[in-house]
Amino acid sequence: AQTVTQSQPEMSVQEAETVTLSCTYDTSESNYYLFWYKQPPSRQMILVIRQEAYKQQNATENRFSVNFQKAAKSFSLKISDSQLGDTAMYFCAFRGRTSYDKVIFGPGTSLSVIP
């Protein structure tokens, strides 16, 4: 069974600084998807970034980028130029390749951006 681990329950960063959130996962599959989701105080889940395992290039979305290390089963999220609106829970998630595979979430990291 797949598992997703986030070893940092809470983190804080100064506004405009850079922060990296860690995520590791375990799977026997070779093709899969990895995601970072953001859950602000409103509790609406927002997709931040997606990575397909067969792509070696790390995904980027504006200020958000990932460091995907497939052999190490590591998938960290880097947030550059942190903004107050980045304050939220961040969940790392895994999904297998088939259409009906469920998304498995990590325990989450609570990020606070300090003005």
Partner 1 sequence: GAVVSQHPSWVICKSGTSVKIECRSLDFQATTMFWYRQFPKQSLMLMATSNEGSKATYEQGVEKDKFLINHASLTLSTLTVTSAHPEDSSFYICSAREVTVEQYFGPGTRLTVT
Nearest approach, Cβ of residue 20 and partner 1 (Å): 20
Residues 42-101 that bind partner 1 (CB under 8 A): 42-45, 47, 50, 91, 95, 99-100
CA-to-CA distance for 82 and 79, rounded, in angstroms? 6
Q: Does 33 bind partner 1 (CB under 8 A)?
A: yes
CA-to-CA distance for 50 and 54, rounded, in angstroms? 12
In degrees and rounded to multiples of 5, residue 110 shows phi and psi of -90, 115
Q: What is the DSSP letter of 44?
A: -
Instruction: Select 71 or 99, whichever has its Cβ closest to partner 1.
Output: 99
Residue ranges that bind partner 1, judged by CB under 8 A: 33, 42-45, 47, 50, 91, 95, 99-100, 102-108, 110
